[in-house]
Amino acid sequence: MASSRSGMLKVLLVVAAALASAPGVLSDPPPLQDFCVADLKAATAVDGFPCKPASTVVDDDFFSAAMVSGPSTDNPFGVNSTRATVSAFPGLNTLGLSITRTDLAPGGINPPHSHPRGSELVLVLKGEVMVGFTTATNQLFSKVVKQNELYVVPRGLQHYQLNVGKGDAVFMAMFDAQSPGLVVPTLGLFATKPAMPMEVLTKTFLMGEDEVSAMKSKFVGF
């Protein structure tokens, strides 16, 4: 019986050790201080920002009025966003949080894009917004989200928001990252500096140079 118990104990210890070393069950270490307000003037050599000296931290470091009013949506897409990431809201530093307000004109679209460093939780404040995302297997998930309803977009997946209501729409996008990043495929193809090689674009879209040039002309100035 003792031998059996000893063998079982060894198995449990091996399993516990394996779980402790598995990346999927690890978590961030607990913070070593109450806060780390970003010193935006410091040179950034690694991810994030260094902390301001605690003696220089003030109430307004933990406050932002960026979401109070919406920006103009007078542009070809009928959309504009106000972002409260760590670079605009220093108190977010090291907290793994950020938020964006997006305003959509009637028929406006937030074109397909992705956030490589954060999942997104959409809360519609006004209007009706179709939110959709695509997976690595090209499956589309979408839903018309109304006032006070939520929709979540997993990290890194391409997604869009389209105003399908009769009036203006407003939604908040909350992220589990202080700087979730933004990748817009259309701009990454047609508005790069220097320009993407024409041969790459014609072969990618199965178009002639005239067609690609016409497409690129629509993104001048973005």
Q: Give residue 208's pLDDT.
A: 96
- Would you say 115 is a known binding-site residue? yes
Summarised one tens digit per residue, pLDDT across range 123-153 is 999 999 999 999 999 999 999 999 999 999 9
Q: Give residue 25's pLDDT.
A: 47
Summarised one tens digit per residue, pLDDT across range 49-86 is 889 999 999 999 999 998 998 889 999 999 999 999 88
Domain spans of the chain?
54-182, 187-217
SS (H, E, C) the chain: CHHHHHHHHHHHHHHHHHHHHCHHHCCCCCCCCCCCCECCCCCCCCCCCCECCHHHCCHHHHCCCCCCCCCCCCCCCCEEEEEECCCCCHHHCCCCCEEEEEEECCCCEEEEEECCCCCEEEEEEECEEEEEEECCCCCEEEEEEECCCEEEECCCCCEEEEECCCCCEEEEEEECCCCCCCECHHHHHHCCCCCCCHHHHHHHHCCCHHHHHHHHHCCCCC
- Would you say 93 is a known binding-site residue? no
Say what the pTM is.
0.80
- Would you say 113 is a known binding-site residue? yes
Q: Give residue 91's pLDDT.
A: 93
> With 80 as the cut, is the pLDDT of residue 181 above it?
yes
Give me the percent of the chain exceeding a pLDDT of 90: 67
CATH of domain 54-182: 2.60.120.10
The per-residue pLDDT of the chain, averaged, comes to 87
